[in-house]
Structure formats: C-alpha cells, structure tokens
C-alpha cells in the first residue's frame, strides 16, 4: 500500500475515527486504525464493537492495500508532523513507513484481515436532517442521560419518530429533556434508543451547518449516520423506553415568565457557594411578581431577587442548581416559562409550541 495526502487532511480524519477506538480492549486489534487504499480512495476505519466509524481522506492512492496501525502511535505521529504532504507506505510484512519532509518513521503494522467489519446496515428510506438540527437536538438533550451502566436504557436517548415529527428524549431519574422538531417528509413510526456516547461523538464530528445534511438509517439492532465523507454505525440499546407522556402534565398552579440570562447568572452566582461534595439545594420563593433565590451553605449565604411576570399561587420550592443551569444553558429564548404545581411535584420549563420541555424534580427542603 502507498498513499500521499496533506498532514491536515490526514489528522482531521484520524481525529474522527479515533472516537471509536477503545482505550483498552481484550482484542488488541481494536486498538488500531485501519488504513485502506483502493480505487475508491483512502479510507480510515475504527471499531470498538459498539461504535464504528469510517471516513474518507483526501489524497492520492498510489498502491492498493490495507494496514492496521496502533491508533495512539499513529495519531501522535501525525499530530507532530510538519504541515506538508505525508507519504505512507507498507511492505509485505506490514512494516509501515511514514515520511513528511525530513521526518521518517518506521512502525510495525498488522494485517487488517482480523479487524471486525462494520455491521451492514441497509441504506433504504433515509431520515434526513440538517447537520445543524441534529447537532442542536443532541446538545439540548444529551446532558440529562444517566452515566449509571446498571440502567442501560437511561444511558441512551430515545428517537421517537411519528410521521413528520421527531422527538429526542433523555432522562436520568431526576429530570427529563425533550426536544421536538417537524421534518419536511413523513416517515414510518419508529422508537429506537441510541447510546449517549455515540450521540456525543457524532455531535463533535458534525459540522453544524444548516446547508449540510445527515442521513439516518435504522435497523432492529443498529443505527447508521451518514454525512460528509463519514459513516458512523452504532449498536442500539435494546429494551422499552419509559412512558414519558405519562410524566408530562399541562396542569399548573403557578406560571412564571422570567429573563433566562438573569436567572442563569443568578443561579451560577449562588453555585459559587456550593462545594462539589455538597448537595445543597437553592430555595426559590415566588410571590407578588418577585422571584427570590436563596442559598445557605458552610461557605456562606446569598439572596437575590429577580422581577418576573407570574400567574397563580405563591410557592416555595427547592432544586438542585445544576439541573436548572443545564437546561437554561441550552435554551436559546430570551425569556422562559416555568410551570409549577406544588413543592413536591416536578417543574416544567417549556415553550408554547413544546419544541422543548425540561422536567425537573424538586428536592425536599426545610422552610424556616
């Protein structure tokens, strides 16, 4: 095998597939990146058996072939090469030579034949979104997945497709995040659970341009995302997702309309007084068109008022400040509507069209 390409193009492609390389594996071959060169061009592949990524590299194929190279070694070498053309060639024993200007590396490679192929996913009837839309939907929901591997369902996000409506839903037992959009076309109804890790990695690779598209294909066990020169295949999480609609309510006793930036800044100021090991809630008193936020910790205390527009009853309620800030950070509206029922029921932050809904459980507080 022999190829030539620019260092910047090679590094960009290495960084993309690196996201599917396991840190350690019982199958050492999985700690490799496969470089393939054939008539279709130059391709890099990585696969950790849960997530597989394949991407094209701009460059010239001089001689066909394939080699498996240790991902960490390859990425570190490429990262430190001069900004110029890189030549990579292998001999019959997979000894690989990497040359750029006066730098010349010789590293041992392996045959790629024992490397597991990416799962085959039928590419029919794609669901098509703009890269901007998918990236935003992930950003606005993925923070509320659980990192508890004992409950696999909560470590993924539900993609719920009904005709031209797509809802992306995540939850961790303390909060629920929902983002809804309407698509141009109608599709067959589907409910699939995609690992949060996969969505995080896809979000990092997506350009986020409104004019660039991503095609999504789903089977019973896998999802495939195709965009630019990259294909991402992931194993789906099996099982039935929680019945989210039963958790949602349009009832409320108190409605607050508040400036999002003011509220976010206020909570972040209060959070300065919380140690990482503390589980101190912020206490919110709502009444007479005033929103009073209190916190009292071993470090100190703080109180701040924010003007609001309110409907309904006065209420005193406590929250984990992180759950509020996580939701507020991803909302792009200038003002937000918060709906509350009582101090023990979840609050809802949602817009009129319910394009986003954030359900947050309160914490028990002692009111002086």
Local confidence band at 257 (pLDDT 50, 70, 90 cut-offs): very high
- Is 91's pLDDT higher than 80? yes
Local confidence band at 368 (pLDDT 50, 70, 90 cut-offs): low
| d(C-alpha 31, C-alpha 27), whole Å | 8
Which residues lie below 8 Å from residue 12, measured CB to CB, with a gap of 6+?
A: none
Name the β-bridge partners of 259.
335
| d(C-alpha 184, C-alpha 127), whole Å | 10
| d(C-alpha 200, C-alpha 134), whole Å | 11
- Is 353's pLDDT higher than 80? yes
Q: What is the pLDDT of residue 367?
A: 67
Element (H, E) at 137: helix 131-139
Q: What are phi and psi of 308, to 5 degrees?
A: -140, 170
Flag the least confident range among 85-89, 193-197, 200-204, 296-300. 296-300
pTM: 0.93
Name the β-bridge partners of 350.
357
Q: What is the pLDDT of residue 181?
A: 97
Is residue 163 left, alpha or beta, with left meaning phi > 0 and alpha meaning psi from -120 to 50? Answer: left
| d(C-alpha 323, C-alpha 279), whole Å | 12
The b/e string for 231-268 (b: 16+ C-beta within 10 A; e otherwise) is bbbbbbbeeebeebeeeeeeebebbbebbbeebbebbe
Within this chain, domains 127-242 and 254-360 share the same CATH topology:
yes
Residue 202 DSSP label: H
Class of domain 254-360: alpha beta
- 11-52 confidence digits (pLDDT tens): 999 999 999 999 888 899 999 999 999 999 999 999 999 999
- 117-146 confidence digits (pLDDT tens): 999 999 988 999 999 999 999 999 999 999
| d(C-alpha 275, C-alpha 295), whole Å | 12
Which residues lie below 8 Å from residue 78, measured CB to CB, with a gap of 6+?
A: 7, 10, 11, 14, 86, 98
Nearest to 303, CA basis, from 321, 326, 283 = 283
- 287-336 confidence digits (pLDDT tens): 999 999 999 998 999 999 999 999 999 999 999 999 999 999 999 999 99
Q: SS3 for 51?
A: strand
- 127-242 folds as DNA Polymerase III; Chain A, domain 2 (3.10.150)
Q: Which CATH architecture has domain 2-114?
A: Roll (3.10)
Q: What is the pLDDT of residue 365?
A: 84
Other CB atoms closer than 10 Å to residue 288's CB: what's the count?
9
Q: Provide mean pLDDT across the span 166-188.
A: 96
Q: What is the pLDDT of residue 328?
A: 98
Tokens read off for 137: 């939907």
- Is 210's pLDDT higher than 90? yes
- Is 8's pLDDT higher than 90? yes
Local confidence band at 7 (pLDDT 50, 70, 90 cut-offs): very high
User: Looking at beta carbons, which pairs linking 19-27 to residues 24 or more positions away fall under 8 Å?
Assistant: 19/46, 19/51, 19/53, 19/201, 19/204, 19/205, 20/46, 20/47, 20/48, 20/51, 20/52, 20/53, 20/201, 20/232, 21/46, 21/48, 21/71, 21/72, 22/48
Q: Provide mean pLDDT across the span 76-103.
A: 97
Q: What is the pLDDT of residue 169?
A: 98
Question: What residue ranges do the domains of the chain occupy?
Answer: 2-114, 127-242, 254-360
């Amino acid at each position: 095998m022999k190829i030539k390409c620019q260092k910047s193009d090679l590094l960009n492609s290495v960084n993309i597939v690196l996201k599917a390389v396991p840190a350690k594996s019982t199958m050492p071959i999985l700690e490799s990146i496969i470089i393939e060169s054939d008539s279709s061009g130059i391709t890099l592949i990585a696969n950790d058996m849960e997530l597989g990524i394949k991407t094209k590299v701009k460059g010239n194929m001089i001689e066909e072939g394939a080699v498996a190279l240790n991902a960490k070694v390859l990425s570190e070498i490429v990262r430190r090469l001069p900004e110029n053309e890189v030549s990579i060639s292998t001999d019959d024993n997979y000894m690989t030579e990497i040359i750029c200007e006066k730098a010349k590396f010789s590293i041992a490679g392996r045959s790629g034949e024992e490397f597991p192929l990416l799962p085959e996913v039928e590419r029919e009837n794609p669901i098509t979104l703009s890269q901007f839309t998918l990236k935003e939907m992930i950003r606005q929901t993925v923070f509320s997945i659980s990192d508890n591997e004992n409950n696999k369902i909560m470590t993924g996000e539900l993609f719920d497709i009904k005709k031209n409506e797509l809802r992306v839903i995540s939850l961790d037992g303390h909060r629920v995040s929902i983002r809804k959009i309407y698509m141009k076309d109608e599709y067959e109804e589907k409910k699939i659970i995609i690992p949060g890790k996969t969505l995080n990695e896809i979000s990092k690779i997506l350009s986020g341009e409104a004019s660039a598209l991503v095609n999504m294909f789903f089977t019973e066990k896998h999802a495939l995302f195709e965009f630019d020169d990259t294909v991402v295949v992931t194993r789906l999480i099996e099982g039935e997702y929680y019945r989210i609609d039963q958790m949602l309510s349009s009832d409320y006793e108190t409605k607050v309309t508040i400036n999002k930036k003011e509220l976010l800044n206020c909570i972040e100021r209060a959070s300065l007084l919380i140690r990482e090991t503390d589980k101190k809630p912020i206490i919110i008193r709502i009444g007479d068109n005033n929103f009073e936020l209190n916190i009292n910790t071993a470090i100190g205390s703080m109180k701040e008022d924010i003007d609001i527009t309110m409907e309904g009853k006065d209420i005193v309620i406590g929250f984990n400040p992180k759950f509020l800030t996580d939701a507020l950070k991803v909302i792009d509206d200038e003002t937000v509507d918060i709906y509350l029922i009582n101090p023990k029921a979840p609050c809802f932050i949602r817009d009129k069209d319910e394009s986003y809904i954030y359900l947050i459980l309160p914490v028990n507080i002692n009111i002086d």
